[in-house]
A and B are shown apart, each in its own frame.
Chain A
Amino acid sequence: MDTITKMVVINSQKVLPSDVVIKLYESNADVMIKETCFGIIVSGERTIVDSLLSSIRKMDPYGIFIKERGLAPGEPYRCRATRRGGARPGFHTLETEDKILPYIASALKALDKGEIPKQKQKKKKLDVEKLKEIIKEAEVTQ
């Protein structure tokens, strides 16, 4: 049996982690569920977890983000309860990316509407000759 753990990060205005948890319990699937501050962690057989989470994503396609997690929920090697607090490894990446998630959500909405973003003009690096001119001008004014 191929067991995997997936974490569901919820950054939604209409779905709460508790709503997702209730939906998962309703499915009666053979999975382990843990509600966390950022969303939920689901552990179980790969096929079950994948199909379950694809239906969960439909609750808010722009506000639910999913990735695989190496360690199962409550793993004693990583769990903060057994390591006496502190950020668990991977927390900092999650924290950083969590701040960008609202932007990603609106970008996904725009993409579904068929919006094509304007290409940003790249800032050109300063030409050496131009720099020399600026230095000369500065020397003259002094």
Chain B
Amino acid sequence: MKVFIYPTNSLILSDLVERFGHEPLAIMSEIGKRVRTQGLDSPPLNITPEEPKLGLKYAAVEVPSGVRGRMALFDPLISKADAAIIVRDPVTSFGCMGCARTNELINFLIRAKKIPLLELDYPSTEEDAKEFVFKISEFLKSLKPAEEAK
């Protein structure tokens, strides 16, 4: 199954989802698509004036274009998601994760989608980490494996 992860550039979540036999939906793949396409209009992410227009699906025109531009990146991930793992209040909010309003909107959209959802906190001790990994493994086991879903 395709599992949306938040923070969407998380190494730990991306690795654990792949390790337990599912496909992580991470922002890196969307950035990669834009970077690898022929003829970059606006490097490095190739966010063209078309992207904020796509973001209109989620946010009104008076909303900052940064939110709409980011939502254009997140749109394919949210629409493809069959399940989601969200880490509450992640420490880092840099780069693509740097917009608080976009992050709130993404969390809201994922909850509104009514898909299987797991909410966690980042571990700070070894015991927390054991609980963190155990919960993720149990959640991912409860979902259909990626091959069966196809």
Contact = CB atoms under 8 A, between A and B. Distances in A.
A35 B18 CA distance: 23
Given A77-B44, A93-B94, A67 B133 contact: no
Contacts of B32: 4-5, 68-71
A106 B36 CA distance: 37
B89 interface: no
A111 B97 contact: no
A66 B40 CA distance: 28
A9 B45 CA distance: 23
A66 B14 CA distance: 8
Interface string A100-142: 1101101110110001111110000000000000000000000
Contacts, number: 114
B139 interface: no
A23 interface: no
Nearest to B36: A3
Q: Give the interface size class of chain B.
A: 35 or more
B119 interface: no
Q: Main secondary structure on chain A at its contact with chain B?
A: mixed
A87 B63 CA distance: 29
Interface string B38-66: 00000110000000000000000000000
Nearest to A83: B44
Contact of A96 (B44, B91, B127, B137): B91
A83 B87 CA distance: 32
B143 interface: no
Given A93-B92, A103-B128, A107-B130, 19 more contacts: A67-B14, A67-B24, A67-B28, A68-B28, A70-B35, A71-B44, A90-B95, A92-B92, A92-B95, A93-B10, A96-B92, A97-B12, A101-B12, A103-B125, A103-B129, A106-B129, A107-B123, A111-B133, A116-B134
Among all A-B residue pairs, the 10 with the closest Cβ atoms: A70-B31, A77-B44, A103-B129, A89-B95, A107-B133, A117-B130, A67-B14, A70-B32, A107-B129, A68-B28
Interface of B: 7, 9-12, 14-16, 18, 24, 26-32, 34-36, 43-44, 91-92, 94-97, 122-134, 137
11 contacts: A90-B95, A93-B7, A93-B95, A96-B92, A103-B126, A104-B133, A107-B134, A115-B130, A117-B130, A117-B131, A118-B127
